[in-house]
Amino acid sequence: MKNVLPKTLFCALLTSLLFFTANVMSAESKVTTNVVVMQQYVNLNQSTIDDLVTLKGIGHKKAQAIIAYRQQIGAFKSVNELTNIKGIGEKILSDNKGRLKI
């Protein structure tokens, strides 16, 4: 009988630890999801280089080209106009279309 209490106590502590760990992991998942939602849209007419490089397939050179295009041609009238920039094709446009706005 002396060994029953420590085993029971051990099982109770282990169960509590597993429950606590599952709740912490669940809370971390919710926080990560909220961060993604807050960074969702990039406005082609107002974005900075730092904003633009968050887009898939857009590095610093392409981000600079987007800003240069904006300065030379004027404001984007459509997100599809992004393909007028050298090095940006339909693939990059389709990868990012859900995040782009005018």
pLDDT per residue as tens digits for the range 57-96: 999 999 999 999 999 999 999 999 999 999 999 999 999 9
Q: Where are the beta strands (DSSP E) in 1-102?
A: 42-43, 100-101
Strand partners, 100: 42
CA 16 to chain CA mean position, Å: 33
Average pLDDT, the chain: 82
CA 46 to chain CA mean position, Å: 19
Distance CA 42, CA 101 (A): 6
Q: Read off the pLDDT band of 40 (50, 70, 90).
A: confident
Instruction: Please indicate, yes or no, whether the overall pTM of this predicted structure exceeds 0.85.
Output: no
CB-count burial class (<10 Å; 0-12, 13-18, 19+) for 42 = buried
Q: What is the distance in angstroms between the CA of the first residue and the CA of the last residue of the chain?
A: 74
- Look up residue 1 and give its DSSP letter: -
